[in-house]
Amino acid sequence: MTHHTREEKLAAFSRYLDVLDTLREKCPWDRVQTNESLRPNTIEETMELAEAIIADDHQAIRKELGDVLLHVLFYAKIGEEKGEFDIADVCNSACDKLIFRHPHVYGTEHAETAKEVLDHWELIKMKEKDGNKTVLSGVPATLPSLIKAERVQEKAANVGFDWEHREDVWDKVKEEVAEVERELADGHEVDREKEFGDLLFAIVNAARLYGVRPDNALERTNRKFIFRFNHIERRAKEMGLNLNDMTLAQMDALWDEAKRLEK
């Protein structure tokens, strides 16, 4: 494992700033980039980092962190060129915010557990000079729906709007399952979508209450399904079979075979 001194870390950060300055000046592509042109690439790099984290690929995580950091530095460089802010402003404002939000570390308040910190987190944020005007206003509208559901539930819970006993959430999940079944029986397509949404929201709530990140959990299941289905497709081809002509029992047998191959 690599261990660098504080001086080495600062030197590496300074080197990155110098490289970006050079590219911005001399590279035709880097020279013409704007906040708007970089935005799609930033989203892509963030998703690649998220993928590396799910895969627990430490080499990939290191690489993707470097790519994401490049975008942070690039936006700060553009801000500096516009006379609006630079990387020092970015770092200092972030530090000021962290210090303000951690009075149990930098102030006189006391907190022993992560839950105690979260219990006061939203209230602290709303006291900030330019803080969120409402509890949920800080949730980006463009977040993927699964992550957004978790975030709005977390924020509401941080100000006390939550289940008193987490086990009670299962009654809600069962209630929403029954609502879906009823709407499917009635054949109302509009209400069907609403009830499925309510069910998904309840399941996200259950995952949150039991310390599971629903987006991570679903992505792991996606990967598991893809691995198993790809195995079925590959084995079928080896046996000279077409998926469309196979019976469900044949595919189930290959599915079980794939399960045994998983780590």
pLDDT for position 1: 65
What does the pLDDT read at residue 131?
Answer: 59
Question: Could you tell me if residue 144 is inside a domain?
Answer: yes
Number of domains comprising the chain = 3
Quick one: CA dihedral 190, 191, 195, 196, positive or negative? Answer: negative
pLDDT digits (tens, 9 = 90+) for 151-203: 999 989 888 899 999 999 999 999 999 999 998 888 777 788 899 999 999 99
Which one of 86, 113, 144 terminates a domain? Answer: 86
132 pLDDT above the threshold of 70: no
Residue 123 has pLDDT above 80, yes or no: no
Output the pLDDT for position 128.
67
Mean pLDDT, range 256-260, rounded to an integer: 92
Decide if 114 is inside a domain.
no
Residue 122 domain flag: no
Q: Within a domain: residue 32?
A: yes
> Mean pLDDT across the chain, nearest whole number?
91
Residues 6+ apart with CB under 8 A from 172: 202, 205
Length of the chain: 263
Average pLDDT over every residue of 118-141? 73
Same domain (yes/no): 81, 15: yes
pLDDT at position 62 is 96
Residue 125 within any structural domain of the chain:
no
Residues 151 and 206 in one domain: yes
Supply the range of the domain harboring residue 244: 216-261
Q: Is residue 28 part of a domain?
A: yes
215 Cβ contact list (under 8 Å, min separation 6) = 144, 146, 147, 150
**Same domain, yes or no, for 202 and 224?**
no
Same domain as 220, residue 202: no
Question: At 251, is the pLDDT very low, low, confident or very high (cuts 50, 70, 90)?
Answer: very high
Contacts of 52 (CB under 8 A, 6+ apart): 60, 61, 63, 64
Are 250 and 186 found together in one domain? no
Residues 158 and 224 in one domain: no
Q: What pLDDT does 250 receive?
A: 93
* 144 and 204 housed in the same domain: yes
Q: Say whether both 163 and 222 belong to one domain.
A: no
User: How high is the pLDDT of residue 188?
Assistant: 72
248 located within any domain: yes
